[in-house]
Amino acid sequence: MVNDKRISDAVIKRLPRYYRYLCDLLDSGVTRISSGELSRRMGVTASQIRQDLNNFGCFGQQGYGYNVELLSNEIRKILGMVRTYNLIIIGAGNLGQALCNYQNFAKRGYIFTAMFDINPDLIGTTINGVKVYDIADLRKYLQENEVDIAALALPRSNSRPIVQILDEEGIKGIWNFSHVDLKVSPDVVVENVHLTDSLMTLSYRLNNQVGE
Amino acid sequence: MVNDKRISDAVIKRLPRYYRYLCDLLDSGVTRISSGELSRRMGVTASQIRQDLNNFGCFGQQGYGYNVELLSNEIRKILGMVRTYNLIIIGAGNLGQALCNYQNFAKRGYIFTAMFDINPDLIGTTINGVKVYDIADLRKYLQENEVDIAALALPRSNSRPIVQILDEEGIKGIWNFSHVDLKVSPDVVVENVHLTDSLMTLSYRLNNQVGE
């Protein structure tokens, strides 16, 4: 697999969805699928599917289609899911707990190793087997443990000093649920989940009846 | 404001972010801003900003820039935020509770009016002043109350029959946190928040060092 060209963000954003559909197919015992049938299920054009997958050298065979297992393995490799990732969650409130309790993440290799909070009632407890540490111990924890990704599930007003510690301690991935765009070093990857933005997009489409 | 042409999804997705930045500017007492300065703060090109806002007839004035209050009001109107929306949450677990407790939504006119769950320990309780109903009463509730948007914060395995009820009872907006793409009538607007997809995108970018 040669992966030396820049893949567009739009394609990257679509890959997890392909992966989800392929895993569902595997779970239902489907071993091969044509781009036409995958297109019908996913609601995208067959030519889009062929074009997207060609980016990664995944070519379907004429008259056979795609081998579901091979293709899902290939996408898993592309997505970097052939290893596990250690995640910490900053903020052990409802959202942090929701993330920690979500079964699907561990299945995909995302392992929550610690949570951090400012609330003395939460510090020292465990949530789904994950210990909640005092946020004051964040830097020390990062110096002593391998952490790949930090999920920010805390109010935006508290996020700036935390992000600075993460950045200084060399965290390379931030999954940002706080309602603010982060300022970080250029080599830090930030994936934003801005819930209010998403709700506003929904109400815009509701008012303008732009269905999917 | 003439809004008779189809605005691209990409532009619509960017509007809430403009709105967020403009509200922050207003909060800090900034009354006008050039597209250049807004560009610097938001990390997008000034020409992108001008192009996006021109879609909606929001023209900055040469040598003056944008009037922050007028522009934020205009975007608020475009986003449909001049009215309130009644939301219900299906699933009163951690994620549902996180949504219900999030202060920012009410401030923007999104009012949670009811939650629904299957768990007898939760039914009858209130979360942030919002009552949790038995999921068995969902259809009745929808028939007796005005609901604009249903947030789906429940496992994907339970979502299909629920979505059918929402669709049959004429719910027009679904904010979908369940890990599955929904099959609904064409006039129903679905906004997906697929957390696992987002995490996979992050790990892809982490492995390929595609910063923002």
Six token digits for residue A51: 């074009």
pLDDT for A207? 84
For A10-33, how does the pLDDT look when each residue is reduced to its tens digit (9 = 90+)? 888 888 999 989 998 998 899 999
Per the CB < 8 A criterion, the answer to whether A58 and A74 are in contact is yes
Cα gap A49→B126, rounded to integer Å = 46
Q: Look up residue B166 and give its amino acid.
A: L
- 3-class secondary-structure state, position B22: helix
For B20-69, how does the pLDDT look when each residue is reduced to its tens digit (9 = 90+)? 899 989 988 999 998 888 999 888 898 888 888 888 776 677 777 889 99
For A138-186, how does the pLDDT look when each residue is reduced to its tens digit (9 = 90+)? 999 999 999 999 999 987 778 889 999 999 999 999 999 988 888 899 9
Q: Which phi and psi (to 5°) does residue A168 adopt? A: -60, -35
Q: Write down the H helix ranges in B1-129.
A: 9-27, 35-42, 46-54, 68-78, 94-101, 103-107
Which chain A residues are closer than 8 Å to B173 by Cβ?
Answer: 202-203, 205-206
Percent pLDDT > 70 in chain B is: 94
Record: contact A198-B205, CB cut-off 8 A: no
Six token digits for residue B66: 């944008």
Chain A 65-84, residues with CB within 8 Å of chain B CB atoms: 78-81
DSSP structure class, residue B72: H
Confidence band of B2 (pLDDT split at 50, 70, 90): very low
The neighbouring-strand residues paired with A67 are: A32
Per the listing, tokens 């522009």 go with B71
B212 CB near a chain A CB, below 8 Å? yes
A97 CB near a chain B CB, below 8 Å? yes
B22-31 CB contacts, 8 Å cutoff, 24+ apart: B22/B68, B22/B71, B22/B72, B22/B75, B23/B72, B25/B68, B26/B68, B26/B69, B26/B72, B30/B68, B31/B67, B31/B68, B31/B69
Per the CB < 8 A criterion, the answer to whether A137 and A165 are in contact is no
